Amino acid sequence: MNRFLLGAPALFAFLSCASAAPSSTPASVAEAPRVAVPVEKAVAVRSERPTRKQLVRRIVPHNVRLVVTEGGKSRRTASGVVIGTDRTADGVASYVITNAHAVDVEDLKAPRMIITQERQAELSEYPVEVVATGKVPEMDLALLRVPGVELEPAELADDTELELGEDVVVAACPFGKSLSLSGGMLSQVEWDRESKRPKMVKTDAPIGYGASGGGIFSLETGKLLAIVEGYRTAKVGFAVAEKDYSFDVPMPGETFAAPTSKVRGFLESKGYGRLLNRASEGGVGQTAQR
């Protein structure tokens, strides 16, 4: 009997503490308002940045294949990038930047020069004329005029956008075939100490013969960073049936190109700076009407 009576107050005290425990929680914590997280807004901000596929789709229409023919036969192939359009009283025209050595036709008697664009199974072909050339090797650039057609031009990157290690894609038509893409990074940016501008860049993206004049584009912005000028090669030799053979192969990381600062200087010196002015106004970067 005594044990029961002695235990009852203890049990009552325990039950009282247990039932009072919730009330010991501060009212301010229990009644704190919940903050709504703007999930939809955060997702919308992230979706504004284009995906890799969207950027590539945006880059592809800027590029063309250059073909020099004679007597109906292909004599030379290269690549090029559309960099502007022009509307005058004579009509519309587009302009393509490529290499000066690619349009050198002094060794041909009756050359014909065209550019082509391929969209899946559809091939478009346009005659072109050379309107400006630089001196090789200091300024290995040339400007082509494509009369009567409005092509989609690339947007040129600023000098500050050329950063070492930036992810890039090279768009070109090696070996005279369809447009091909190769990925890599800017492996070198050489700056001019006097002008404080880039004067040469390199990429480790693999390319092949005929990629001269192709564009190097940023995979972050889709802007044109440089125009491929050439690449260093290594001679590989082997013997077959007691005969020696050799051929040149591109060296990795030794593809060099003219940065957009060089392209701008070339256009301004040749009297085509208006193409750059229209690009800054947004008139050049619009989608072409086909």
Burial class (CB in 10 A: 0-12, 13-18, 19+), 204: middle
Tokens encoding 38: 């703007």
119-123, 155-159, 260-264, 265-269: which range is least confident on average?
119-123
**Res. 4: pLDDT tops 90:** no
Tokens encoding 76: 């030379």
Q: Domain segments of the chain: what residues? A: 52-281
CATH number belonging to domain 52-281: 2.40.10.120
pLDDT single digits (tens) 43-58: 545 557 889 999 999 9
pLDDT single digits (tens) 56-84: 999 999 999 999 999 999 999 999 999 99
pLDDT band of residue 90 (cuts 50, 70, 90) is confident
Q: What mean pLDDT is predicted for residues 99-111?
A: 94
- Identity of the residue numbered 215: G
**116: Cβ contacts below 8 Å, ≥ 6 apart:** 64, 65, 67, 123, 124, 125, 126
CA gap 66, 61 in Å, rounded: 14
23-27, 76-80, 258-262, 264-268: which range is least confident on average?
23-27
Yes or no: say if 284 and 275 are a contact pair by the CB < 8 Å rule. yes
Cis amide bond preceding 137, omega within 30 = yes
Yes or no: say if 176 and 211 are a contact pair by the CB < 8 Å rule. no
The pLDDT of residue 236: 75
Rounded (10°) angle between helices 260-269 and 274-281: 130
Task: Note the pTM of the prediction, 2 decimals.
Answer: 0.76
Q: What mean pLDDT is predicted for residues 154-172?
A: 95
Alpha helices in the chain (DSSP H): 2-20, 27-30, 39-47, 52-59, 260-269, 274-281
**What does DSSP say about strands 111-119 and 63-70: parallel, antiparallel, or unpaired?**
antiparallel
Which has more pLDDT, 218 or 36?
A: 218
Q: What mean pLDDT is predicted for residues 214-235?
A: 90
